[in-house]
Amino acid sequence: MRSVISILDLSVEELDELIATANDIIADPEKYAHICQGKKLATMFFEPSTRTRLSFEAAMYELGGNVLTMADAQSSSAAKGESVADTVKTISCYADIIAMRHPKEGAPYVASLNASVPVINAGDGGHNHPTQTLADLLTIQREKGRLGELTVGFCGDLKFGRTVHSLIQALSRYQNVKFVLISPVELKLPSYVKKDIIQANRLQYVQTTDLEKVMPDLDILYMTRVQRERFFNEEDYLRLKDSYILTVDKLKNAKPDLAIMHPLPRVNEISVAVDKDPRACYFKQVLNGKYMRMALILKLLGVKP
Ligand code: NCD
């Protein structure tokens, strides 16, 4: 059973194939409008979500399929103490594919070992978020026309920001990507990404606390929210939450073709005035996420137009 728990579960060729499918869906949605008729996607979300859950559900509906949703863990048997393993064994009896978000790192992996249908990791704690990365890759491909030869700045909470971890893993496989890691010292990239991915592959990177200093170098600026729910104490969160706020003024030395990205939700780390800048791509990322999830569902179900 093929599941996607990490972005590294997909080869570069498969990522190319998913991007090609997504672009084909964008060009001709009618061709795909009924191809998942009779198939069911179950969304199991044990953590808050707006975009990811609704994007999976919209994706399945736009393929002509149906959706079973478990949006609130408190109303499921998890609240009675049921294990993830038992819950997914049960849901495998009803659905053809499962998208799962969980606050515990590794829970979707455990789910994939127990499910008899494909499981997609829709975010596990502060670890990985491979389908946000699919949205990000399609956005980069469409905005920049390439996935290599890029200087990519990641700014904010690089420690707990799971979308950052998955996107760095993905981009590490393309030619000449240089990483600029911008964060407070306390929120630096964890070593399983920095050592095991960036350093192990001898990729170029710089680490800094100063966003404005590196701004002119960047082709992409990937802003992130400080992940309040993963902090051990509120005091640290309050101290770090306003570390980086992107304003129109701070963009004055940026490249004219910079792509400003953010997985959303935004709190205050990008000023609303930046939304009018044509370089702001974060709402395009939302739309691209739906198309890439459509492509991924088709691939894992083995459905072809
Ligand atoms: C991200 C997440 O859930 O990790 N959101 C998303 O899925 N688009 C980012 C975040 O919550 O900050």
How far apart are the C-alpha atoms of 206 and 155, rounded to whole Å? 12
Predicted local distance difference test score (pLDDT) of residue 8:
97
Predicted local distance difference test score (pLDDT) of residue 76:
78
Catalytic residues: 51-52, 80, 101, 129
Predicted local distance difference test score (pLDDT) of residue 72:
76
Predicted local distance difference test score (pLDDT) of residue 1:
77
Give the other-Cβ count within 10 Å of 59's Cβ. Answer: 26
Task: Please report the atom of ligand 1 found closest to the CA of residue 286.
Answer: 8
Is the pLDDT at 81 greater than 90? The verdict is no
CA–centroid distance, residue 120 to ligand 1 (Å): 15
The pLDDT-based confidence of 44 (bands split at 50, 70, 90) is very high
Task: Please report the atom of ligand 1 found closest to the CA of residue 225.
Answer: 12
Ordered structural domains, the chain, with CATH? 7-128+288-301 (3.40.50.1370), 130-285 (3.40.50.1370)
Cα atoms in the 13 Å half-sphere on the side-chain side of 136: 28
Predicted local distance difference test score (pLDDT) of residue 301:
98
**Section 129-158 average pLDDT:** 98
- Are 63 and 6 within 8 A, CB to CB? no
**Section 5-9 average pLDDT:** 98
CB burial of residue 11 (10 Å; 0-12, 13-18, 19+)? exposed
**Residue ID of nearest Cα to ligand 1 atom 12:** 225
The pLDDT-based confidence of 255 (bands split at 50, 70, 90) is very high
Predicted local distance difference test score (pLDDT) of residue 138:
98
pLDDT-above-70 percentage for the chain: 100
Is the pLDDT at 17 greater than 80? The verdict is yes
Mean model confidence pLDDT for the chain: 96
Query: Does ligand 1 come within 6 angstroms of the Cβ of 263?
Result: yes
CA–centroid distance, residue 38 to ligand 1 (Å): 30
Task: Please report the atom of ligand 1 found closest to the CA of residue 129.
Answer: 4
Predicted local distance difference test score (pLDDT) of residue 79:
76
